[in-house]
Structure 1
Amino acid sequence: MRLTMTAVAAIAMAAAAPAVADATVEGSLMDLIDNPVICASPDEAADIAGAPVAEMVMVEGFGTGGFAVDTTNPQAQAWFNHGVRLRWAFEHTESVRAFQRARLLDPSCGMCAWGEAWAMGPNLNGGGTGEDTRRAALRIAREARRMARDADPIQRQMIDALIQRYSGWESSRARRFAERMDRIARDNPADVAIANITADALMMQVEQWWDDEGQATDPAITRAMQILEGTLAHTPDDPGAIHLYIHLTEWSDDPQSAIPYGERLAALAPGASHLVHMPSHTFFRVGRYRDAMMSNVNAVALDARYVDLASPPGGIRGVRLHGHNIHFGMGGALMAGGADEGLRLAERFLSIYTRHPRTDVAWGQATANNAYALFGRYGSDEQIAALAEPPENRPLMRIGWRYGRGEAAARRGDAEAVDREAAEIARLRAALPQNADHTFSSTFSEVFQKVLEGRAAMIRGDYPAAIAAYGRAAALQGEGEEGGDPPIIWFPTRRSLAAALLASGDAAGARDKVLELLEDWPSDPYSYFVLAEAYAALGEQEAAARARAAGSVEWIGGTMSLGLA
């Protein structure tokens, strides 16, 4: 699969300076309307649309990338190369602006226009799909074809392929672009740039990459894997190929294959926050939760650094994946017990995205749950009391706020307070809007209601009630699948069920439940704690010692308990 229970924030396209690309302005402004920037106010959106390209700053540290194009202007060539690097770093808006800067420096550069049109288009994070953006990109791609007399034959073929992406029947655009690029790639197997563009196109052609067994669902995915593995065999340090390979392997049957590439990606592009973040997709999938946390702690810092150095349009809220980096880091912190780092990330998330998201975006509201969960699991009483209740038009954020307060009450052993928060979640659930997101919202919120009901039952020693509550939560989580990047429900509720089974005297049932869930949540330290306790109750002391040792690898938190599992 590509992503599970996930949605990525909308993007905005930057408009060119009138001196070079008047044709892009209307399309970019319309795309900004179609795909607003996270948390941007109307005034911020206007600033983004009018951002002067000529003032763009080239920040170092985005790795390698780019290739010689039809310009004799060294600066135009440098900005073209930077645009390619930004595109593979998934800084799509900045990539468009870099190609526009290259066009300012050499208005006759056909491949610079190609780059702008390419960066405007569809990408793996779901942006660039608006109709106005497509029309603008098609105009620019056709400009590229008219201007590319000095481009080499391969690059003219690339321009023709790109025109296919934006023209003709909508249902076949992605396939035609991918097929054209694949022909070019087969003729030029050693060309890394062509390989990456082709693999990217093939991946975007398919909605779901892997079946439940991690097997490719479409020949395009098999071909993309072949291209990327071939590229990495002869160019193992290419950031673009590594980035795509991490995405492609994450939900395959072999996510471990990306580990050696992910381990060195940050060093290859130390200034690119998204590339520093990317290994966390692999790390989380294989159970390296501390590394997933730290990859994103570093990525968040790099986002702030980029804003300081480059002053991109929209500031930190215009950095479209900043919230994703924080969310992912919080997920790793929760799983690893990273209280200090996690609370700092949670504070940042809530301070930057106070108005986030739009009231009609359920996923965005749900991501705030990790921030509230961190305060609930690790915050002081004073910090919990200081958390402002979200407004009424943010019901899922309110549910997350209630859940965090419930976890804090469970830490204190206050069953009545936990029950009150669970009851408030139930009340909020009943009032959720009946819209397209209702099933997701209802499931998400009921899971946390049942978790709190289970926590209260564990405090009281009512283990049958705890088993029932946690069992319902686990069933709901299983229906929605536990995957994601990171999972929208931050932990496997099956471990809470296992803890309740153990507390009730069913050590064998607890053991079996944990062994089952570790297949999906490898190396979860809290699950290993429950497993060790189950083995000890069964009299299997050596197995208990092994489970404790395994759990200590990823855990940096404090004392564990069955009541908070």
Structure 2
Amino acid sequence: MRPRLLAFTAAMLCLAGPAALADATTAQADARASAALIQSPKGCGRVGSALDAAPEADMVMVDGFGAARWTVDTDNPEAQAWFDHGVRLRWAFEHKESVRAFRKARTLDPDCGMCAWGEAWALGPNLNGGGNDDASMNRGRVLARQARRLARDATATQRQMIDAMIQRYSGRKASRDVRFARSMDRIARRANDDPLIVAVAADAWMLQADEWFDDEGRPKDQGVVRAMTLLEQSLARAPNDPGTIHLYSHLTEWSDDPHKAIPYGERLAALTPGASHLVHMPSHTFYRVGRYRDAMRSNVGAVALDKRYDELAAPPGGVVGMPLHGHNLHFGMGGALMAGGAQEGLALAADFLSLYPDIAVDAVWRQLMANDAYAIYGRFGTAEQVAALKQPPADRPLLRASWHYGRGEAAARAGDNRAVRADAEAIRTIRSDPAITGDDAQEQKDFMEVSQRVLEGRAAMLEANAPAAIAAFTRAAEIQAQESEGGDPPIIWYPTRRSLAAALLANGDAAGAKAKIEELLTDWPMDPYSYFVLAEAEAALGERTAAEAARARAAVEWIGGEMRLALA
């Protein structure tokens, strides 16, 4: 499975982030880069260049990012401490903060060659799509060459790493990534007991690949195979290295066996209890294997840590300026919707809508993320909470359609089929507006149509009109199936095929409903609501034991109370 759905969106989120995400759709170039990230999931969202990192003088060293230490060519203990912190921040995907830390180390010891190497590394290409701009590349080359001039006291291995970094920024741009990966690989073969060196080499192999896996999770690039080998060998020696675990979680997520990362991901938060992104990171694995509650809870923790970091370190822009904060909120909301986490989900949705009260017209990805916030109010909010949601402006069609979708879901819970149909019709009107133009106009309209058809199907289920419900949900599922349904989290929050299965069951086709659920569970493992529908289908078929087994599986991930076929 590959997360390619609606490839016009801003970034894979974290990826998102991804990607969570910085608003990366404000320019055509960003849109193209974002689409490329959707096609080749590599991280948690676009973060942009780190060149404009805040001044390092007032930086605060926040605890909880790990304990790794890597001795470099400095006798200044403070410079050494800031170098180590820079490494930890880099593996936590805090790219700008990592640059600041390495700059702080260089201020404390201007003769530290590896401190200059660290800044060059942190400025350069990363799995979030940043560091590829010419300005960052040119600055990285200056820093790498400066590191070589300063590295008189560096070890032979460290000088080789500096030479490799020069390769990353020199010569033909098209071959830089591969040359850097090969150079680091040679070093890693000789220093395979050093987790940092091996992780840098694996990261380089991951970055040079245009695509990692095919739709079956098989590697499409030999560099990806090599990265997997490097990471697994390193984890066998150092199973608690946060950087290695982080990369392994990303690399296995879309492989044919994401379960391999579970034991490492389960310990990552304890190893880095102050690092928001690393506390978030296991949710990528959890979501892929169907542990939706854990995905939700990981991101509840990550959101809280973003706020803590803001209180302790006061980074420029605060929480709203953190490029991966929106990704944490989005991922947490996705997990809450799937697990029935009303309390946690409503808190995340309220945070999202208050933190981003005026999403820009061209910030398409963030508008799409807001759909989860409105869906949460629709699925779990009180009537008063839903009524209090402010209607978005008319020039934000995606937001306004999502607002109607949330209201329609709430009306469906209340059994008000007329109100559900009114919101569905409002969405139809919005998506029919000829003012929606541009390269991504059809994709935006498709996204809105899914919400419209789901509400039409909900209304038909309330009216006991199963054939109409089947027609509506079939259309929603057709749109969703135009690309793979996956993502981190999926941009359409649930498998609309389960609603179709519920409609088939309501129409007397229990066997068809069962087949549809069994089909979708390969893409949405352990979906509790799907197991509920399966239990009802098995019961209708007279399979009492199978029905009880399905109900038991539904209870594993569901914390949301009563389930109803009309809301499946």
TM-score after normalising by structure 1: 0.91
| Residues 1:98 and 2:101 aligned together | yes
1:253-264 maps to which residues of 2 (within 5 A)?
A: 253-264=256-267
The reply on whether 1:249 has 2:259 as its aligned counterpart is no
Q: Is the counterpart of residue 391 in structure 1 residue 424 in structure 2? A: no
Task: Give the match for residue 350 of structure 1.
Answer: 353
Is the contact between residue 289 and residue 336 of structure 1 (CA under 8 Å) also seen in structure 2?
yes
| More displaced 10-residue stretch of structure 1: 242-251 or 133-142 | 133-142
Residues in 2 aligned to 1:111 and 1:456: alpha-carbon distance in whole angstroms: 64
CA distance in 2, matches of 1:311, 1:495: 45
> Which residue matches 2:511?
508
Of 342, 362, 371, the match for 1:339: 342
- 1:393-408 equivalence runs, <5 A: 393-408=395-410
Match of 1:359 in 2: 361
Which residue does 1:461 correspond to in 2?
Answer: 464
Superimposed CA distance per residue, residues 181-206 of structure 1 (whole angstroms, 9 cap, x where no aligned partner): 11111121111111000111111111
For 1:165 and 1:444, the matched residues in 2 are separated by 40
The 5 Å alignment of 1:257-296 reads 257-296=260-299
- Paired with 2:53 and 2:466, the residues of 1 have a C-alpha distance of 61
| Aligned: 1:326 with 2:329 | yes
- Once the 2 structures are TM-superposed, how far is the Cα of residue 394 of structure 1 from its aligned partner? 2.2
**1:114 and 1:391 mapped to 2: Cα distance?**
48
SS at match of 1:390: coil
Structure 1 contact 64–238 (Cα < 8 Å) conserved: no
Given residue 389 of structure 2, which amino acid in structure 1 is its aligned partner? L
1:468-483 to 2 correspondences below 5 Å: 468-483=471-486
CA offset at residue 147 of structure 1?
1.6
- Kindly indicate whether residue 452 of structure 2 is the aligned counterpart of residue 446 of structure 1: no
Q: State the 1:2 CA deviation.
A: 7.0
Match of 1:525 among 528, 531, 537: 528
- Alpha-carbon offset, residue 50 of structure 1: 7.5
Partner of 2:427: 425
Residue by residue over 1:500-559, the C-alpha shift from the partner in whole angstroms, topping out at 9 and shown as x without a partner, is 000000000000000111111111000000000000001111100000001001100011
Q: TM-score, normalised to structure 2's length? A: 0.91
1:488 maps to a residue whose letter is: I
Q: CA deviation at 1:173?
A: 1.5
Point out the more displaced range, 95-104 or 4-13: 4-13
After TM superposition, the structure 1 = structure 2 runs for residues 189-208 of structure 1, keeping only pairs within 5 Å, are 189-208=192-211
Which residue in the other structure is 1:233 paired with?
A: 236
**CA separation of 1:12/1:392 partners in 2, compared to 1, >3 Å: closer, same or farther?**
closer
Counterpart pick for 1:84 among 84, 87, 90: 87
Moved more, 250-259 or 360-369: 360-369
Partner residue, 2:148: 145
Contact 1:4–1:485, Cα closer than 8 Å, also in 2: no
More helix by share: 1
Q: Secondary structure at the match of 1:76?
A: helix
C-alpha distance in 1 between matches for 2:216 and 2:507:
34
Does 1:118 pair with 2:121?
yes
Q: Distance in 1 between matches of 2:373 and 2:278?
A: 23
Indicate how the Cα distance of structure 1 residues 128 and 104 shifts in structure 2: closer, same or farther if over 3 A, else same: same
Determine the C-alpha separation between the residues in 1 that align with 2:104 and 2:394: 44
> How big is the shift at 1:468?
0.9
The worse-fitting range, judged by mean Cα deviation, of 87-96 and 387-396 is: 387-396
Which residue among 363, 371, 374 is the counterpart of 1:369?
371
Specify the code of the residue in structure 1 equivalent to 2:429. Answer: R
2:2–2:484 contact (8 Å) kept in structure 1: no
Match of 2:415 in 1: 413
Give yes or no for contact 1:403–1:422 (8 Å, CA) kept in 2.
yes
Instruction: Supply the AA of the counterpart residue of 1:155.
Output: Q
Q: Secondary structure at the match of 1:55?
A: coil
For residue 297 of structure 1, what is the amino acid of its counterpart?
V
What is the DSSP-based 3-state SS (H/G/I as helix, E as strand, rest coil) of the residue aligned with 2:135? helix
How far has the Cα of 1:157 moved from its partner?
A: 1.5
**Counterpart for residue 169 of structure 1:** 172
Task: Report the counterpart of residue 537 of structure 1 in structure 2.
Answer: 540
- Residues in 1 aligned to 2:382 and 2:72: alpha-carbon distance in whole angstroms: 57
1:362/1:437 contact within 8 Å kept: no
Compute the displacement of 1:12 (Å): 11
* Aligned residue in 2 for 1:184: 187
Give the whole-Å Cα distance in 2 for the aligned partners of 1:264 and 1:436.
Answer: 43
- 1:534/1:56 Cα in 2 relative to 1: closer, same or farther (>3 Å)? same
Equivalent in the alignment of 2:36: none
Which residue of structure 2 aligns with residue 40 of structure 1? none
Computed over aligned residues only, the root mean square deviation of the Cα atoms, in angstroms, reads 2.1
CA distance in 1, matches of 2:2, 2:567: 32
For the residue of structure 1 that corresponds to 2:143, the secondary structure is helix
1:558 matched residue in structure 2: 561
Q: Secondary structure at the match of 1:54?
A: coil
Indicate if the aligned counterparts of 2:457 and 2:470 stay in contact, CA closer than 8 A: yes
Tell me if structure 1 keeps the 8 A contact 2:21–2:327: no
Separation (CA, whole Å) in 2 of partners of 1:189 and 1:65: 16
Are 1:405 and 1:421, in contact at CA under 8 Å, matched by a contact in 2? yes
Instruction: Give the aligned partner of residue 41 of structure 1.
Output: none
CA contact (8 A) 1:11 1:128 kept: no
Q: Secondary structure at the match of 1:328?
A: helix
Does the Cα contact within 8 Å between 1:12 and 1:93 map onto a contact in 2? no
Q: Which residue of 1 aligns with 2:381?
A: 379
Paired residue type of 1:520: D
Contact 2:113 2:146 in 1 (8 A): yes
Q: Structure 2 stretches of 5 or more lacking a match?
A: 6-10, 23-28, 34-47
- With over 3 angstroms needed to count, the CA separation of the structure-2 counterparts of 1:165 and 1:68, relative to structure 1, is same
Structure 1 residue runs of 5 or longer lacking an equivalent are: 14-30, 36-44
Bigger relative contact order (CA 8 A; separation at least 6): 2
Distance in 2 (CA, whole Å) between partners of 1:153 and 1:239 is: 25
In structure 2, how many angstroms separate the alpha carbons of the residues matched to 1:55 and 1:320?
21
Q: Which secondary structure does the structure 2 equivalent of 1:539 belong to?
A: coil
Aligned residue pairs total 535
